[in-house]
Amino acid sequence: MNKLIKNQAFHIKKRQRENPDPINSLMNLLSHLTFNRIRTLVYAYSLNPYLGFLHSPQNNYESLVADLHELMRAKMDSLLIKVINQNIIKISDFEEMSGRSTLKSSAVKKFILIFEDFMNTYYNTENKTIYNYLTRQINHIKDWATGKTEEITFEIPW
């Protein structure tokens, strides 16, 4: 991603979830928002979030949610690059607290609005939003789990 991010202050030195720098702080927030949106949909469709395909359910980990989250990774990265390169989120939107970079509350509000726009933006020629994609993907899994289909279709939103 560093080759695509114009502002070097946001370049990734290493991926760290604890004590993050600004880019890792943004990645953590976006990951949290996305994971929780997927978790909500999985529960709404009465699927077991702990029975996934790629991730282990050990340690009470919601592996199905994590599996679906992986399919969103490229879209999430493109959103981060956009908000950084278009100066929507700036280094000045962060503050240092206890050795970690944290978004100021006004920037968190702005980022959540950006996330909601992202979820409702059409991403392909089928006029489907990211939210539509997620519900369709979860429906594919539910149809397989309930025996309506023999195979699961996994899609990656482009």
Category of 46 on φ-ψ map: left (φ > 0), alpha (ψ -120 to 50) or beta = left
Inter-CA distances, 104 with 49, 107, 139, 146, Å: 32, 5, 37, 45
Global pTM value: 0.88
Instruction: Return the domain boundaries, the chain.
Output: 15-145
Cβ(138)–Cβ(68) under 8 Å? yes
Going by CATH, does the domain composed of 15-145 fall within 1.20.1440.20?
no
pLDDT tens series, the chain, 158 aa:
889 999 999 998 877 767 788 999 999 999 999 999 999 999 999 999 988 887 776 767 899 999 999 989 989 999 999 999 999 999 999 999 888 899 999 999 999 999 999 999 887 777 889 899 999 999 999 999 999 999 888 877 76
CA dihedral 82, 153, 135, 76 (to 10 degrees): -20
Q: Which residues pair with 48 in a beta bridge?
A: none
Which single residue is written with the structure tokens 């699961």? 152
